[in-house]
Chains A and B, each alone.
Chain A
Amino acid sequence: MNCADIRKKLQPFLEDLLVEEEYRAFCDHLDACGKCKAYVRSIGSFSNQLWKLGQIEVPEDLISTIQYKILHPEEKGPPAKSKRSGMRTIAVAAISILLTVALLGGTAYFIKRRHSLGRNDEPIVRTDVIRTFEPLPDNEAAALFGRLEAMAEKLGVSKKEYTAEGEAGKESSGD
């Protein structure tokens, strides 16, 4: 066995897959060749370290999760509550509380202010700004209508044009 053979047979050697004759030849060459011995040691320890990294503790419920996922491939399990959704809920609740407090506070302030101004019995809506228009007496209405007719005559507008009869005539001629 030569140096090239050592490199070829290294993996089976590390995995203990060499037959007895090959194993003896391998070891004999290592005893004789310092370079190969160092090479095998470095590779051997290297692969051993990586193999050791695989000796890890596995979560106990992994097998049961695998079995569940085999039978329920479309389900991804219960959705985890993210921190973001929790924060959003808290923010919405805080804003709702603030709005409620502001509304109640504002109402209380308004009532208190009215009380301090002595307007407790007054209605909240001011009625004095609303005007009520009484219908004109007949004689005044007749006088007003007479002035309007005179104005229309001066402008050359016939009576039919501004009365209900004239409007009805226009509509029927339009149809």
Chain B
Amino acid sequence: MPRSYFRVQRMHDQNEDAMGSLSAQYQQRIFAFVLYLIGQDQDRAYDVCASSFAEAIRASSSLGQKEVFLPRLVGIAVEKCRHIRTIPTFDVIELLKISAAEKGPLRIVLKALQMLDFELKVPLLLRFQLNLSYDDIGTVMRASVSNARIKTAQARVQLEKEIERVLGRA
């Protein structure tokens, strides 16, 4: 049995509450983030999400530092998603816990989001879905804070264009 197993087991025992709360806190946001990033394949998103959590927790010496944990988790998830290309296999709108009236506009946003390049989707989702700071976005994207700001702004403009295009087509 490798030594790391016992280390993780011990950490797991000591921080069970912390890990439980961390997983509960972030699983929904990370699952949604991965799902939109790879293109709405629920099974792949599940695998990527679970393995990203596991790697991030294993890489953390302590689960108490939430400020460090989330960017690390997101960074791992982004790298895992980078080379995954999927075809949408189901209507993700059905999974949203919102009223039917709110689903209409969101369907348009979602369509537009799926038309964006991976590199544009990343800062957009990091900023507006995960509410990460530009510092953290820069860390995840391995870019400076100002670059992270610029890329997020570019992505937002592009998404607005895509929304207009979707509305025009409709």
B115 contacts partner chain A, Cβ-Cβ < 8 Å: no
Q: Tell me whether A73 is interfacial, beta carbon within 8 Å.
A: yes
A55 to B50, CA, bound (A): 18
Asked whether A56 lies within 8 Å of B32 as measured between CB atoms, the reply is yes
The answer to whether B54 and A69 have CB atoms under 8 Å apart is: yes
Across the interface, which residues of A come within 8 angstroms of B128, CB to CB? 46-47, 50-51
A62 touches B109 (CB 8 A): no
- Which of A56, A65, A71 is the one whose CB lies under 8 Å from B28? A56
Q: A46-B156, A46-B160, A69-B51 are known contacts. Are A55 and B110 too (CB-CB below 8 A)?
A: no
Which stretch from B64-72, B75-83, B90-98 is at the chain A interface?
Answer: B90-98
B27 and A71 contacting across the interface, CB-CB below 8 Å: no
The answer to whether A56 and B129 touch (CB under 8 A), given A66-B53, A70-B57, is: no
A65 to B97, CA, bound (A): 23
Q: Is the CB of B57 within 8 A of A62?
A: no
A34 interfacial by beta-carbon distance below 8 Å: no
| A52 contacts the other chain (CB 8 A) | yes
Interface size class of B (residues with CB under 8 A): 35 or more
B23 near A: Cβ within 8 Å? yes
Quick one: which of A119-165 are within 8 Å of B by CB?
Answer: none
Complex CA gap A71/B58 in Å reads: 9
Q: Are A56 and B51 in contact (CB under 8 A)?
A: no
Check if B12 sits within 8 Å of A71, measured CB to CB.
yes
Q: At the interface, yes or no: B85 with Cβ under 8 Å from chain A?
A: no
Whether A53 contacts B54 by the Cβ 8 Å rule is: no
The size bracket of the interface on A is 20 to 34
Q: Is the CB of B96 within 8 A of A52?
A: yes
In chain A, positions 44-90 with a C-beta closer than 8 Å to chain B are 46-47, 49-59, 62-63, 65-67, 69-71, 73
Chain B residues near A51 (CB-CB < 8 A): 128-129, 131
Cα–Cα distance between A52 and B125 once the two chains are bound (Å) = 11
Q: Which residues of A contact B124 (CB under 8 A)?
A: 50
Q: How far is the CB of B110 from chain A (nearest CB, A)?
A: 7
Contact status of A73 and B105, CB under 8 A, knowing A56-B92, A57-B95: no
Binary interface encoding of chain B residues 33-62 relative to chain A, with 1 for a CB under 8 A from any of its CBs, else 0: 101100000100010011101110110000
Name A48's closest neighbour in chain B (CB-CB).
B128
Q: Which residues of B contact A67 (CB under 8 A)?
A: 12, 19
Q: Name the distance in Å between B115's Cβ and chain A's nearest Cβ.
A: 15
> Would B33 and A54 count as touching, CB distance under 8 A?
yes
Bound Cα distance A65, B45 (Å): 13
| B27 pairs with A53, CB closer than 8 A | no
Known: A52-B98, A55-B96, A67-B19. 12 other contacts (CB 8 A): A46-B128, A53-B129, A55-B32, A56-B31, A56-B35, A56-B92, A57-B95, A57-B97, A58-B27, A58-B28, A59-B42, A67-B12
